Amino acid sequence: MRMAPDTTTRTPTGATEPELACPISPVVDIVFSRWTTPILWTLHTHGRQRFVELERRIAKITPKVLTQRLRQLERDGLIVRTYHPEVPPRVEYEISELGRSLAPLFAHLAEWAAENLDRVEQARHDYDTEPAAR
């Protein structure tokens, strides 16, 4: 894998600024926050959804948190909110073209998970059951 040239800045103590130490940190912060991935996955998999449909499909998310995450995703350009001025009003959410561009990343992560999560669980088990020699 070819790495990008080192363009990080350093603090007066010589330490690298945390947000610049890794070029993908901003992407991880945007896409992989607590509820963002399930929301994007649901919209990508099931298409346009109303708020209550998202709430049903994403177990354990509170309405307040879902509202906050949807607003942030709309702000980031990853989803599109459509307001229909009907009685009662109807609001739908769908993944944007920018959000859909993350599909290959999610596909690779899903493949990695299928191939490796058992190994991670085994490593955790081994670590947790080894004598306290650390």
Torsion angle in degrees (nearest 10) through CA of 8, 3, 102, 116 = -110
The one-character DSSP state at 2 is P
pLDDT for the residue numbered 9? 55
CATH number for the domain that contains residue 52: 1.10.10.10
* Contact between 96 and 47 (Cβ < 8 Å): no
In a domain, 19, yes or no: no
In a domain, 1, yes or no: no
Q: How many structural domains are present in the chain? A: 1
Tokens 């990508």 belong to: 44
* Contact between 81 and 74 (Cβ < 8 Å): yes
In a domain, 106, yes or no: no
- What is the Cα–Cα distance from 54 to 69, expressed in whole angstroms? 12
In a domain, 91, yes or no: yes
In tens digits, the chain (134 residues) has pLDDT values of 455 555 545 556 666 676 677 888 888 888 888 899 999 999 999 999 999 999 999 999 999 999 999 999 999 999 999 999 999 999 999 999 999 999 999 899 999 999 999 999 999 999 999 876 56
Q: Which domain holds residue 31?
A: 24-101
